[in-house]
Structure 1
């Protein structure tokens, strides 16, 4: 996801979000993940109409929207690494119930920072063979 030019370290990411995230990043993320815009909007908890309006008036996403997009990108990077950059398997995994998320589908929890973090932690546990 480095092609999105999203900062990796927390302080730079914070400053990037505060400066205002361009709504076009959602379109680019959908393209990178080979999925539709609506799905990425749902994952980030941002309506398509909001993204379209922000693009039309050339306004950045709100700070909370930018933070949600950042969390989704981090989680997608983790899941992509789990599936060796296979976007089809990644998107499929996001929509299956996960035991480590109490039976919730990862896609259901990505719209909050803590939900995205839970998905990232789950991926780490899977990669390290931790089942509990």
Structure 2
């Protein structure tokens, strides 16, 4: 756990974000939203292979955990992405991907996924 905290504080490497983006087939706009950054900032990070700022690293770590949880529950990354991109009744019709840019939104999505995992459907 300490290692993760240190990584977040020092900045997660762009290469990790790039692998995550490719693994889930995310567009730059979605990654920018998750990180709270502009497309231009993403392009700069990618070109210079910079590390993310601590705040963006924290957002990335949180989003990565939710995506991985969804992939585990829905058994494939493709199914997870379909779920994350569709309005969910358990989120008052909100689209999970659209609310992962905030901590409260992330918590709501994680809570709903945990309920689904345990068979407690909203």
More helix by share: 2
Which stretches in structure 1 are left out of the alignment for 5+ residues?
1-8
Which stretches in structure 2 are left out of the alignment for 5+ residues?
none
TM-score by structure 2 length?
0.85
Q: Distance in 1 between matches of 2:34 and 2:9?
A: 21
Q: Which residue does the alignment assign to 2:16? A: 25
Q: CA offsets per residue over residues 57-77 of structure 1, 9 Å max, x none?
A: 443211111111111101101
Contact kept in structure 1, 2:87 and 2:96, CA below 8 Å? yes
Matched, 1:114 2:87: no
TM-score by structure 1 length?
0.80
Root-mean-square deviation over aligned CA pairs: 1.9
Q: CA offsets per residue over residues 50-104 of structure 1, 9 Å max, x none?
A: 12212334432111111111111011011001111x1221111111111222211
